[in-house]
A and B are shown apart, each in its own frame.
Chain A
């Protein structure tokens, strides 16, 4: 199975995507989707991406819910900042935080989460010093933001540890 589908999750995603694009569940579509997943899986194998293993699916699901709740809250907060921007100028600023994540994929996921949250934007990660520079729109309380990043980091570490 591993020789045919080196990245089962990727192949499955591609199959689902193909079926959604075609809007059909005909055997032909499923066959082409499987072939597509297989071929692109081999291509990905040639690219040698950093491999990491997902542990604790339940913890990952809880983390996803947590992130969605944070994004909704942050959406509302940033919307109110924009609407009040002419009266109360936003107190924005740069922050740095030390990270302790080894896994490349975990770092990439953290970058996506932080940028997808409207209040925070990922700017630069220094690999040697292991510090992350990010920008915050509502800099009322620096410690709250640092604590949020630390919370994400702890969760990702738990999910991605080897």
Chain B
């Protein structure tokens, strides 16, 4: 905690605000894993943590180091870029895998192949 107090007041409050807000967003996203009722609903929850939480916390980190060390190379952008590009790929693949498994085991409430319906999933 020694270096953070060297920040000017405006930057300190901005960093803390972004950090708190990002952590809260991440918490809500992970809470979604507990509170939503089936897999396809839970699939939506982590995207909040990745899109909202990562961007806010990386912004806080960028601002902090930019002011502290007065450097303007933002390597946190790499994390933001990497996470926002890769998470949709993981989740889409996971959704496909889940759909495949549910069809294979003939679970109820999962849309059949080649049959467009918009039934509510109830497993």
Contact = CB atoms under 8 A, between A and B. Distances in A.
Contacts of A129: 114
B99 interface: yes
A90 B36 contact: yes
A123 B51 CA distance: 19
A40 interface: no
Contact of A121 (B75, B91, B117): B91
B121 to A, nearest CB: 7
Interface stretch (A3-11, A41-49, A109-117): A109-117
B99 A123 contact: yes
5 contacts: A23-B71, A94-B121, A118-B45, A120-B44, A133-B111
A96 B116 contact: yes
Contact of B75 (A20, A115, A117, A139): A20
Contacts of B61: none
Nearest to B71: A23
A135 B45 CA distance: 13
Contact of B74 (A20, A111, A126, A142): A20
Contacts of B50: 116
Interface string B17-46: 000000001001101100111101101110
Contact of B119 (A17, A86, A93, A123): A93
B36 A85 contact: yes
A83 B99 contact: no
B88 A111 contact: yes
Contacts of B116: 96, 131
B51 A122 contact: no
A17 to B, nearest CB: 6
A118 B28 contact: no
Interface stretch (A30-38, A71-79, A148-156): A71-79
Contacts of B47: 78, 115-118
B102 to A, nearest CB: 11
B72 to A, nearest CB: 11
B92 to A, nearest CB: 5
Contacts of A117: 47
Given A20-B78, A90-B36, A71 B89 contact: no
B118 A94 contact: yes
A17 B118 contact: no
